[in-house]
Amino acid sequence: MTTDPWHTAAPRPYTTRQPERAAQDFDALFLAHYAEIYRLLYRIVGAREEAEDLAQEAFLRLHRSPHLWVAGEQHEHNVRAWLFRVATNLAYNALRHERRSQARQERLADNAAGNGAAPDPIEAALQMDARTTVRQALAALPARQGQLLVLRYAGLSYRELAVAVAVAPGSVGTLLARAETAFERAYRALVPAQGGEHEV
């Protein structure tokens, strides 16, 4: 975490002279990025209410860091990566705290049963099972690998990924390849029944 572009960038003071403009800037960022941040969080934590709470928290942090967004467009690229990083960190922290919690499992079950996507209870159970397996495989990885995969899946560019997980842009490819290998291994360890596929 030695290279943090937000801490090295000259912070633009939040001028009270133009609070209205600043509020509009923030609202615009919120509306532009909320949906993708929510989806990212949902993928990680798997529960709607929790994803919403974490999204609120991520934007609260953004709101408290006006130097990131008051300045305007030149920061937009970084703001997105910053939001993704904050959101993934929040989600992984939440997972760590709740990993052994029974409440989480119940909520996941409620969520799978209540989302209406799979009216057939057997189908719903399978669906939940598959989701749980993927999350368990992600959780088995070192945090940075898991984050990298989820963020890449969310559509971040390599440049954004580098910022979001605080690594050099040139090493993203290497880290991503490693993370994918590790994920496949972890996933297969959880689903031994799927024989016949060779380690690739």
Partner 1 sequence: MKCDTGLLRAYLDDALSETERGAVAGHLAGCASCQAELAMLQKRSVQVMTRLAILEPEAGEAPDPAAALARFYAGAPAQAASRPAPGRALWANLKRSYETMKQSLLTGWRKPVTIGATAVACLLILFSFAPVRQAAADFLGIFRVRKFAVIPIDAAHTRQLEELAQLADRGAFGQPTVVREPGEPQAVASAAEASALVGFPVRVPAALPEGALPRTFNVQSGPAAHFEMDRTTMQAVLDVTQIKGVTLPDVERIVIDLDVPWVVTQSYRRGASLWTISQLRSPQVDMPAGLDLTALGAAAFEYLGMPEADAQRLAQAIDWTSTVVIPLPTEEAEFREVTVDGVTGLLLEPRSSNPHRVVLWQRDDIVYTVEGVYTDARELLLVANALK
Q: Which residues bind partner 1 (CB under 8 A)?
A: 17-21, 24, 27, 30-31, 34-35, 38-39, 42-44, 46, 48-49, 51-53, 55-56, 59-60, 63, 114-117, 127, 130-131, 134-135, 137, 149-150, 153, 157-158, 170-177, 180-181, 183-184, 187, 200
Give the separation between CA 108 and CA 45, rounded to whole angstroms: 9
Q: Which is nearer to partner 1, 4 or 49 (CB)?
A: 49
How many CA atoms does the CB half-sphere of 156 hold within 13 Å? 32
Q: Which is nearer to partner 1, 103 or 200 (CB)?
A: 200
Cα distances from 27 to residues 24, 30, 33, 54, 170, in angstroms, run 5, 5, 10, 18, 34
Read off the amino acid at residue 185: R
| Closest distance to partner 1 from the beta carbon of 9 (Å) | 23
The secondary structure element, H or E, covering residue 12 is none
Q: What is the DSSP string of 93-121?
A: HHHHHHTT-HHHHHHHHHHHHHSSS--SH
| Closest distance to partner 1 from the beta carbon of 70 (Å) | 13
| Closest distance to partner 1 from the beta carbon of 67 (Å) | 19
| Closest distance to partner 1 from the beta carbon of 22 (Å) | 10
